[in-house]
Amino acid sequence: MNPLTIDIRRLQREIDELASITEAEPPVVTRVLFSGADLRGREFVKKLCREAGLTLRADAVGNIFARWEGANEKLPPVATGSHIDAIPNAGKYDGVVGVLGAIEAIRALKKSGHRPQRAIELIVFTAEEPTRFGIGCVGSRLLSGVLAPQKAAALRDRDGKSLDELRRDAGYTGSLDSVRLPKNCYAAFVELHIEQGPILEWENTAIGIVEKIAAPSTLRMELTGVGGHAGGTLMPGRRDALLAGAEIALAVERAVTGSGSPDTVGTTGVFRIEPGAVNSVPCRALLEIDVRDTKVATRDAALVQIETAAVEICQRRGVVLETDRLNVDPPAVCDAALVETTADICRHLGVSHRKMISRAYHDTLFMAQICSCTMIFIPCRGGVSHRPDEFTSPEQIETGVHILAQTLAQAAG
């Protein structure tokens, strides 16, 4: 095998071109699942896969698989991949580095004359971001069996459109029952991703190798109070849904800061009120609350504390509360041997690296349910992500793609 050369200029051009496929004004990237931009982005990625000589297929929820056949088709393949959907007002590297970077890793391996024993398969996951349905990683949840097909089919977006309608409109028509993959259908899964945190940059370290992914959970609370004229409704006896919601948001902060674990974090990221007029008492509030921790026990204790507080607050304020646990997921523990393989590759190449915890969750969290996994993190400037000024340098990407390529080559034999 000749030495690996990553064509970083071509890869950077492709990252820039995908970033121009957006629902927003560039440089802002917005690519919500099954929007026009998402569908055009998928076509762009598929074109690159075809040009790289990969065999394409898609499953019923729109997960895309691009395969480089191995010498021994009896062996389970090695997989890599990430997502190209982007939240509103995002940047161009989150997810994309793991998709386009994987294509470049495969191209580089091919060019070097490498011939893997196992097939190497790129997966572009559907809806890693929770924007459309309030739940993230829809594609990998279905693949791993964490989300039941009937539950997925019934997911609805803000306009009342179901996942089932939307995926069919996008051309993914099979039965959702067919999406789930058997355990150990892949020998390994490795996802390249920007860190979305500041640690690698602080420490001036090129590569983070993920050992564990923090356990996420999402609560949705619908509060129904009583509206009325802002002038005519006197203060005693008001049943203001916004004020109940505001108290709940503060209770979230109290629960996570008092959990006893420094890793517990809680965010009330959605807070919508109706009718939303300055002269009207808010009659309805919708809150979506994200709570995470590396430990299940402290995360779950915080969830219970938040739910208990919400019940008390709403009772006291005469507001009707409906709580839904959208997801309560376990943490993922990465495969120690795979982590060591990647660490050895870094050592061998003289690339600075450290093992770390991912506090953001990724499709790997769910792939870990069916096969050995790890993630390769590269730094991003200031730890900034989910913003248009998200930035990772071409050199940092090149190093990440190099380590990914070597890890895939080793895992594929």
What single-letter DSSP state applies at residue 383? G
Q: What residues contact 284, with CB distance under 8 A and at least 6 apart?
A: 222, 223, 224, 225, 241, 273, 274
Q: Is 82 or 268 the residue whose CB approaches Zn ion more closely?
A: 82
CA 198 to chain centre: 18
> What minimum distance in Å lies between the beta carbon of 292 and Zn ion?
15
Q: Smallest distance from the beta carbon of 3 to Zn ion, in angstroms?
A: 30
Q: State which residue, 129 or 293, has the beta carbon closest to Zn ion.
A: 129
Cβ proximity to Zn ion, 94 vs 390, nearer residue: 94
CB of 181 to Zn ion, least distance (A): 21
**Could you tell me the smallest distance in angstroms from the CB atom of residue 191 to Zn ion?**
9
Burial of 225 (0-12, 13-18, 19+ CB in 10 A): buried
Contact 291, 215 (CB under 8 A): no
Unique residue bearing structure tokens 């959990």: 259
- Helix, strand, or coil (residue 287): strand
Kindly report the length of the chain.
413
Q: Is 176 helix (H, G, I), strand (E, B) or coil?
A: helix
Give phi and psi for 281, each to the nearest 5: -70, 130
Minimum Å gap between C-beta 129 and Zn ion is 7
Interacting residues toward Zn ion by CB under 5 A = 94-95
> By C-beta, is 213 or 221 nearer to Zn ion?
213
Number of H helices, E strands in the chain: 12, 17
Closer Cβ to Zn ion, 284 or 362, answer by number = 362
Give residue for tokens 């190449």. 349
Place of tokens 């997801």: 327
Q: 95 or 101: whose CB is closer to Zn ion?
A: 95
Least distance (Å) from Zn ion to the CB of residue 361? 9
Q: Give me the least distance between CB of 217 and Zn ion, in Å please.
A: 18
Facing residues of 219 across strands?
289, 325
- Closer Cβ to Zn ion, 14 or 195, answer by number: 195
Closest-CB residue for Zn ion? 95
Say how far apart CA 373 and CA 146 lie, in whole Å.
Answer: 16
Q: Do residues 126 and 33 lie in contact, with contact meaning Cβ atoms separated by under 8 Å?
A: yes
Angle at Cα 50 formed by Cα 49 and Cα 54, nearest 5°? Answer: 70
Q: What is the greatest pairwise CA distance in the chain?
A: 80
**CB contact at 8 A, 214 and 361:** yes
CB of 86 to Zn ion, least distance (A): 9
Min CB(96)–Zn ion separation in Å? 9
| Minimum CB distance to Zn ion smaller for 95 or for 225 | 95
Q: Which one, 94 or 290, has the nearer CB to Zn ion? A: 94
Q: What are phi and psi of 119, to 5 degrees?
A: -65, 150
